[in-house]
Amino acid sequence: MSEVPSYDLELKAAEDRRKLHASITELSSKLHQDLNVNNQLRRHFAVACTAAAIIALGVGYSVTGWFVRH
């Protein structure tokens, strides 16, 4: 069995930790950007406006029904 010097193993472990930290930082940044409500509204503005209009019409129709029904 070949024996690898501990110094080389420590260097490899340090490099692996740096790569892992960079990957986690990148993932965290991407998640933060993807879950940001403002970014999502900008990307899907038409869908958000349509949903808001449908909800507003439904609420308006319901509230009007309270006053019109006898």
How far apart, in Å, are the Cα atoms of 30 and each of 22, 25, 39?
A: 12, 9, 12
Rounded to two decimals, the pTM is 0.53
Same domain, 26 and 44: no
The per-residue pLDDT for 70 is 54
The per-residue pLDDT for 60 is 94
Domain range for 68 is 40-70
How many domains does the structure of the chain reveal? 2
Same domain, 23 and 53: no
Determine the 3-state secondary structure of 58 from DSSP. helix
Nearest-angstrom CA–CA distance, 21 and 13: 12
User: Please, what's the b/e burial string for 8-36 (b: 16 or more CB within 10 A of its CB; e: otherwise)?
Assistant: eeeeeeeeeeeeeeeeeeeeeeeeeeeee
The per-residue pLDDT for 69 is 76
Same domain, 44 and 29: no
Same domain, 15 and 45: no
Same domain, 3 and 30: yes
Same domain, 31 and 48: no
The per-residue pLDDT for 39 is 87
Per-position pLDDT tens, the chain of length 70: 467 788 889 999 999 999 999 999 999 999 998 889 888 888 999 999 999 999 999 999 999 988 887 5
